[in-house]
Amino acid sequence: MPFFTPGDDPGPSFSSLVRRLGLSPETPSSDVGARLAVTHATTVVAIRFVDGVVIAGDRRATSGNLISHRAIEKVFPADRYSGVAIAGAAGPAMEMVKLFQLQLEHYEKVEGSQLSLEGKANQLGQMVRSNLPAAMQGLAVVPIFAGYDLGRQTGRLFQYDVTGGRYEESNHASSGSGSLHAGTVVKLGFREGLTRNESVDLAISALFQAADEDSATGGPDLVRGIYPVIATITAEGFTRVPDGEIADRFTGLLDVLASREIGITRLPENSTETGGDQR
């Protein structure tokens, strides 16, 4: 058990404790991304609903133009009332989540109370900021943090930039390579007073449409039984949505999309709209 003088005591900060003990990972001195095929995790979304927040992420990880993992998980509980969804370099992102979980547990043990939700968001922002040297070498991590604020009795969500800037979003957030497409779907489908089921369906639709446009985002894999990880965070805590329920909701979405295709006349291959000669 290490002992510190009053001037060197890291207090409740677990990351400061790690630095004091010399256990912080070294920052690469050259562009790692240019030399290695770094695994990247994308796409994640978060949506506020009437009882809390939904946080979701697809399961694909890519290395350049290759699929490196088909079933990676990108949504994790931070503690009982908050969660993190990761996007960016997968290795540093997962390490950051584990350190963040330890930080919250360490703070609670040292101080005897939990951090406020905003305090947790600030702690994660500091970790993202400390990763900036690695981000400059191609190992960026850009998470989403969401949780249930017991004081305000509402769900809250936060986005970050690569420098550690923390921005609270009122209704929804997205990150990763497919965030433009997923965010657009959520923006168009969001309304005040969404129920839990409606927000889960919206997250599923957003990830499906993102996968349809972005090769780095994985859609539902019906053959392997791989579906996005989706969790709700409410006054009851962090709860992962069962894969069986997600599969049923994806099936419903596919039925709706298929019904829209009925009656659409498609041109045969190699034809022209004017019916010109085919050679």
* Among candidate residues 228, 243, 43, 231, the one with its CA nearest the CA of residue 146: 231
List the Cα angle 230/113/151 in 5-degree steps. Answer: 60
Q: Whole-angstrom Cα distance, residue 14 to residue 12?
A: 6
* Among candidate residues 175, 208, 163, 171, the one with its CA nearest the CA of residue 193: 171
Angle between helices 90-111 and 117-130 (to 10 degrees): 140
Task: Write down the residue that tokens 């950051």 correspond to.
Answer: 96
Query: Catalytic: 5?
Result: no
C-alpha separations of 16 from 3, 102, 166, 180 in Å: 14, 12, 20, 35
Name the phi and psi angles at 131, rounded to 5: -85, 0
Helix/strand number for the chain, H first, E second: 8, 14
Q: How many CA atoms does the CB half-sphere of 233 hold within 13 Å? A: 30
Say which of 27, 39, 42, 272 is annotated catalytic: 42
Q: Whole-angstrom Cα distance, residue 260 to residue 109?
A: 55
Q: Whole-angstrom Cα distance, residue 207 to residue 77?
A: 20
Angle between helices 196-213 and 179-189 (to 10 degrees): 140
Active site residues: 42
